[in-house]
């Protein structure tokens, strides 16, 4: 048995998703003529109560397009210090948008309205113009932590008072919606733009959607073209997204349950130190004792469990639709064996 917990990006399409892909009607998306892409974009926009959406190959592209549209060169973007848009998108904010970043030391990847207010630059020619706040929900490097809606609404009030745009990197937003039982429309109301990934918990082989007002998406479509993201018969992939939105959202609760069972096993493990609170499908823990994180990862691999040491002392497990209840039980069993 091989249990791959390195990421929820390693999933493969289910047989039913593959069948939907094979049967998809397609056209040239650059001409706006791919019916499957058009349907996916319409579904996503409607789900969040927004006017329009744009299908992109990756979450990094959809985030970077949003930042480019919301900012001008020389502007400053406020985000938490662990944010994916800062840590893992290749310096794209500087390279693509010509903007710089103001980092906030938040609480498990989350920031609040007071911190945003304190980080806004004054109207001074010596300072970069603050124009955008970017949040991440769930926060990957913080163990899949989730925002409360009231916190986001307070941040939006600060943004409105200072004419700032508010963007959501919602790569794992559906995990948060399921875990917190929050409505998607509430996020559509509070954010100017939202990026959601289809190729993580929803199990698609590729794809992300950028959602926002119609005028914003028109600009975003032009930027996508400039970034090399214009696709042709993309409907074969978009059909996977349609299937995922119709069938794979509520099942995310299973991943959360498996994460909780593994967290309980780690709480009593001799090699596991501090464990970040587990809210969704990500488990991050500190390694203690004589063995390093890399050595624990190697020991897990010998038992058929693949994981990532995200630092010299931390290991991350990510649960997803390719991990069954039996596989999760195997992981907890091996944790017990390594603790002996």
Cβ contacts of residue 41 below 8 Å, gap of 6+? 52, 53, 54, 55, 209
Angle at Cα 333 formed by Cα 328 and Cα 337, nearest 5°? 145
Q: How many CB atoms lie within 10 A of CB 155?
A: 26
* The pLDDT of residue 340: 75
State the number of CA atoms in the 13 A half-sphere of 9 facing the CB.
Answer: 11
Closest CA to 194 of 70, 76, 77, 104: 70
Q: What is the pLDDT along the chain (340 residues), one digit of tens a residue?
A: 899 999 999 999 999 999 999 999 999 999 999 999 999 999 999 999 999 999 999 999 999 999 999 999 999 999 999 999 999 999 999 999 999 999 999 999 999 999 999 999 999 999 999 999 999 999 999 999 999 999 999 999 999 999 999 999 999 999 999 999 999 999 999 999 999 999 999 999 999 999 999 999 999 999 999 999 999 999 999 999 999 999 999 999 999 999 999 999 999 999 999 999 999 999 999 999 899 999 999 999 999 999 999 999 999 999 999 999 999 999 999 999 998 7
C-alpha span between 144 and 164 (Å, rounded)? 26
Q: How many CB atoms lie within 10 A of CB 72?
A: 11
Q: Which residues of 119-133 are buried (b: 16+ CB within 10 A; e: fewer)?
A: bbbeeeeeeebbbbb
Q: How many CB atoms lie within 10 A of CB 225?
A: 11
Cα distances from 323 to residues 228, 252, 257, 304, in angstroms, run 34, 11, 11, 13
C-alpha span between 56 and 184 (Å, rounded)? 20
Q: Is 219 left (phi over 0), alpha (psi -120 to 50) or beta?
A: alpha
C-alpha span between 223 and 97 (Å, rounded)? 11
Q: How many CB atoms lie within 10 A of CB 326?
A: 9
Q: Is the pTM of this model over 0.75?
A: yes
């Amino acid at each position: 048995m091989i249990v791959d917990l390195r990421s929820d990006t390693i999933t493969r399409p289910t047989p039913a998703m593959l069948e939907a892909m094979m049967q998809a009607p397609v056209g040239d998306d650059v001409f706006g003529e791919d019916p499957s892409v058009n349907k996916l974009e319409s579904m996503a926009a409607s789900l969040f109560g927004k006017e329009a959406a744009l299908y992109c190959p990756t979450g990094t592209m959809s985030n970077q397009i949003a930042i480019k549209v919301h900012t001008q060169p020389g502007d400053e973007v406020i985000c938490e210090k662990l944010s994916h848009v800062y840590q893992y998108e290749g310096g794209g904010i500087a390279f693509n948008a010509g903007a710089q970043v103001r980092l906030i030391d938040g609480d498990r990847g989350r920031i609040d309205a007071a911190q945003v207010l304190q980080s806004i630059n004054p109207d001074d020619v010596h300072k970069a113009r603050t124009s955008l706040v970017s949040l991440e929900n769930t926060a990957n490097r913080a163990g899949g932590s989730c925002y409360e809606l009231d916190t986001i609404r307070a941040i939006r009030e600060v943004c409105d008072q200072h004419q700032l745009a508010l963007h959501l990197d919602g790569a794992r937003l559906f995990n948060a919606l399921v875990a917190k039982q929050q409505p998607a429309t509430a996020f559509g109301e509070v954010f100017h733009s939202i990026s959601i990934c289809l190729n993580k918990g929803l199990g698609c082989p590729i794809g992300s959607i950028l959602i926002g007002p119609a005028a914003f998406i028109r600009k975003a479509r032009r930027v996508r073209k400039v970034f090399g993201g214009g696709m042709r018969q993309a409907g074969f992939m978009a059909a996977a997204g349609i299937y995922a939105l119709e069938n794979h959202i509520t099942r995310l609760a299973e991943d959360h349950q498996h994460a909780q069972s593994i967290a309980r096993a780690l709480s009593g493990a001799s090699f596991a130190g501090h464990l970040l609170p587990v809210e969704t499908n990500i488990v991050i823990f500190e390694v203690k004792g004589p063995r390093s994180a890399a050595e624990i990862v190697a020991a897990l691999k010998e038992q058929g469990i693949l994981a990532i040491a995200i630092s010299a002392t931390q290991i991350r497990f990510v649960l997803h639709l390719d991990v069954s209840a039996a596989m999760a039980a195997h992981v907890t069993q091996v944790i017990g064996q390594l603790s002996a």
